[in-house]
Structure 1
Amino acid sequence: MKLQALRIPSGWKINWNLFYEQDINEDNYMDEFSSSTLLSISNTQLNRCLELIWYPKGDLKGNYILEVFNLCEKYNPKKKIVEKVPETLAPQLTFESKNREEIVNKIETLVMELKPYK
């Protein structure tokens, strides 16, 4: 099983990737589509994070949900460092589709066109 090919410019970090080059079907819905997060990428220079999920997880009738979050600096007392974390639980943009190719196109567009969050 191959990971989905994505054109992502430099500056973006892959935090998590279980986004496969495969559409949901009777054989794979409980495996490839049962994770809470399929893809997580971030760009600390732009202060943006993209998260891709399949919801409801493990459901053939679900959808891909792609969300954009703003990142802000927050002190982590356990690590004693400042980290960039999602600003709120509410996404700045949400895009839903059952179609994997639509999601691929949206991800590739967003990583090229998102403006920095200040």
Structure 2
Amino acid sequence: MKMMIAAAVIFLIQQKGLVSERRKYQLRSEINIKEVESMNKPYEIQPLRLLGGWTVEFNNFYECEPDNCNNFGEYFVEDLLQLTNSKNNLVLDLGWYLDSDKNGTYKLFLIKDYDWEKPLEYFESRNTKAIVDKIEYWTNYGFYQKYL
């Protein structure tokens, strides 16, 4: 149903001359990708409050608690979230370790100059709210300026 509505919207916009053929193809591709990604994911992406300067490299971090999640292995993997701040050469990386293991934990790293051997900050928890709070805190300039 969503695909039919999206296709109708694209068609109407194009008919009015507001979208080029190239953009129509891009929109259709974006809608198809989003549709496929969300088809089997009953949970939403975890909302985060981030200040400017951070880029989302990938985001597989869902609103799904480790102790109460259907299809656990689909949501709790090593590559959950990666944010970069290219101006300050920082990387924030979140994963679940061991991958797909119900006894695992979130591990959050703040890295400078891609030096994965010496993280600036490290935090580990099974609590999603604690991880969200730490991400929002670490991505605040008031916090990470001490590493610049």
Return the TM-score normalized by structure 1: 0.80
Note the alpha carbon deviations across 1:91-118, whole angstroms, 9 max, x for none. Answer: 2211000000000000000000212645
User: Which ranges of structure 1 fall in alignment gaps of 5 or more residues?
Assistant: 72-85
Consecutive aligned runs of 4 or more in structure 1 exceeding 6 Å deviation: none
User: Which ranges of structure 2 fall in alignment gaps of 5 or more residues?
Assistant: 1-42
Are 1:62 and 2:90 an aligned pair?
no
SS at match of 1:94: strand
Q: Deviation at 1:27?
A: 2.3
Larger radius of gyration: 2
Are 1:45 and 2:93 an aligned pair?
no
> Could you say which structure has the higher strand fraction?
1
Aligned length: 103
Distance of 1:51 and 1:117 partners within structure 2: 16
CA RMSD across the alignment: 1.5
Are 1:115 and 2:139 an aligned pair?
no
Return the TM-score normalized by structure 2: 0.64
Greater RCO structure (CA 8 Å; 6+ sep): 1
SS at match of 2:112: strand
Distance of 1:12 and 1:95 partners within structure 2: 19
> Could you say which structure has the higher helix fraction?
2
Note the alpha carbon deviations across 1:18-47, whole angstroms, 9 max, x for none. Answer: 0001112462221111x3210000101122
Distance of 2:78 and 2:127 partners within structure 1: 18
Distance of 1:62 and 1:19 partners within structure 2: 15
